[in-house]
Amino acid sequence: MQATFIHQFNSGFTLFLSLLVEAIPFLLLGVLFSSLLLWFVDEQKLLSYIPPHPLLGAFMGSLVGFLFPVCECGNVPVARRLLLQGVPSSVAIGFLFAAPTINPIVIWSTWVAFRDQPEIVILRVLFSLTIATTLGWLFSVQKDLRPIVQPAIARALPIVDPPKPPASDLVASSLLQSGTYFLGESEQPLRLESLPAWKTQRLLKKNQVKKESVTVKPSLPPWKTIFLTPTQERWSSMLENMVQEFRELGGVLVLGSFIAALIQVAVPREFILNLGQSPVTSILAMLLLAGVVSICSTVDSFFALSFSSAFTSGSLLAFLVFGPMIDIKTVGLMLSVFKARAVFYLVILAFQLTFLFTLVVNLNFS
């Protein structure tokens, strides 16, 4: 019995390390893209390219994976950065669920594995894109994301439609806003930016006021602001952001990998394989296997290929579509952004849509 325990421990530890070794590079890639979005992407320009319609916005977000080819470990920091930059929730959630599959690396690896079954490649892309767009569109109903995200994320989100202050507080509240004001010209303070050009010049000359612009940057240690050039300071801030995000998400990744390895050792794989005897139970078995195995989307097609002789086409698609969206590692990472209730809804909706789509495939091809 002791030998069996030692064997299981060694197997579990090996699986744990393999999951980490496989996932950490993609998490680093996602954190890198997140920091690049923070410093080199103007969120206002990004918002200007997003269609105002929630459904079109979700569809566009689902296609962004072609620009950011990240795995299911790297999509979470990128989606979080999109939310913090004010991108609509439909776009961010569409990207969150589609990016692990709708990117050239995964599409190419799926084609290599299933070149004799091109319908698997096509349906994987089609189902993943449809489910991600649907989830993004459904969650666009929630205009203010603060009730469904973690408190740290909620505090950093841009304000959506802030309430207007009472009329009696207009003077005080307006003076708390950024800008240049003149008092004494009327009962209300005059905002310099809202005045015509000719009046602005006259007031500036009369009051001898110098208009200055204010730039807001993340705070850095004093020694860095003294010895670093602006370009070096910019890169230093980006690296600090990368380290902070990797520290936050890396801990969750380690915990999720440990749980995934524990389940794989404790639950016999034969028990899961024996369920794949009918169009319904085969899909349920592969959905369960996809959530437990937590394999990277760039190589999961080769893992699914090993079951192609014993499982139906619909169940293989269920593994390929649901696994990159929802697994133990991904749920842990998503909990660092969303509250448990929102993650639960996302998991259930993704599960139901994947089951329905792949069941149609089984019923038509059986």
Residue-wise pLDDT for 325-342, tens only, equals 988 888 888 888 899 999
Domain residues for 3?
1-157+233-365
Per the domain annotation, does 201 fall within a domain? no
C-beta separation of 161 from 351 below 8 A: no
Q: What is the pLDDT of residue 77?
A: 80
Ranked by mean pLDDT, the top range of 82-91, 259-268, 298-307 is 82-91
Residue at 182 is within a domain: no
> Is residue 205 in some structural domain?
no
In a domain, 72, yes or no: yes
In a domain, 218, yes or no: no
Does 187 fall in a domain?
A: no
Residue scoring higher pLDDT (361 or 239)? 361
Does residue 211 form part of some domain? no
**What are the C-alpha distances in Å from 143 to residues 48, 75, 84, 132, 362?**
18, 22, 14, 18, 37
- DSSP result, 226-289: HHS-HHHHHHHHHHHHHHHHHHHHHHHHHHHHHHHHHHHHHS-HHHHHTTTTSHHHHHHHHHHH
Q: How is residue 331 annotated by DSSP?
A: H
pLDDT of residue 273: 67
Query: Does residue 75 surpass a pLDDT of 70?
Result: yes
Distance, in Å, from the CA atom of 98 to the CA atom of 136, rounded to the nearest integer, reads 10
Alpha helices in 41-149 (DSSP H): 43-48, 54-63, 75-84, 89-98, 104-113, 118-139
Q: Nearest-CA neighbor of 77 among 142, 26, 117?
A: 26
Instruction: Identify the residue with better confidence: 320 or 9.
Output: 320
Q: For 115-146, what is each residue's pLDDT tens digit?
A: 889 999 999 999 999 999 999 999 888 888 88
Q: b/e per residue, 136-154, with b = 16+ CB within 10 A?
A: bbbbbeeeebeebbbeebe
For residue 137, the model assigns a pLDDT of 93
What mean pLDDT comes out for the span 255-269?
74
Task: Give how many domains the chain has, as a whole number.
Answer: 1
d(CA 353, CA 322): 9
| Within a domain: 214 | no
